Amino acid sequence: MKSTILTAFAVTAFALPAFADGHASGDAEAGEKEFKKCKACHMIQRADGTDIVKGGKVGPNLFGVYTRPAGSVDGFKYSISMTAAGEAGLEWNEEDFVTYVADPTAFLKGYLDDDKAKGKMAFKLKDAEQAKNVWAYLVSVGPAPE
């Protein structure tokens, strides 16, 4: 019984980095440190209410952000442009996330082909490597895909 539990633990421990590697090219450990800038506005909280990272509520919860349609966290009031992007098919992935966090309003203008589009996020993470690291972190702490 003890060896079964240890085997299950080992498989889980090694599967998480492999899962993150399959969906992210950055360094999750570096991303965890970089996320400290993000937690002023964002939290990472499981569906059961368990906090992974306590943070602000100015931005939406980032738990499970990868492959999630943009503008889709229940109870969060998104900009009209972010909601429109989600309705137009935007599902978060590494490439779009990195482009978005570099300049959120410019991303929405381009994605929607609308010069009047704008988002609520004012913070810009222009360093693509840091953004990839944050993405890797978010993937590493999120749920496994179905």
What is the SS3 assignment for 17?
helix
Is residue 115 situated within a structural domain?
A: yes
Per cent of the chain over pLDDT 70 is 83
Is residue 109 situated within a structural domain?
A: yes
pLDDT tens digits for 91-116?
Answer: 999 999 999 999 999 999 999 999 99
Provide the domain count of the chain.
Answer: 1
pLDDT for 108: 98
- Global pTM value: 0.83
Indicate which CATH number applies to the domain containing 56: 1.10.760.10
Residues paired with residue 91 on neighbouring β-strands, in sequence order: 69
46 Rama sector, left if φ>0, alpha if ψ -120 to 50, beta otherwise: beta
Question: What band does 22 get if pLDDT is binned at 50, 70 and 90?
Answer: low
pLDDT for 145: 63
Please choose, from the candidates 123, 14, 64, the residue with its C-alpha nearest in 3D space to the C-alpha of residue 6.
14
Question: What band does 19 get if pLDDT is binned at 50, 70 and 90?
Answer: very low
pLDDT for 21: 44
Domain range for 131 is 2-141
Is residue 146 situated within a structural domain?
A: no
pLDDT for 6: 34
pLDDT at 130 over 90: yes
- Per-residue pLDDT, averaged over 57-81, amounts to 95
Q: What span, in angstroms and rounded, lies between the C-alpha atoms of 117 and 94?
A: 22
Is residue 74 situated within a structural domain?
A: yes
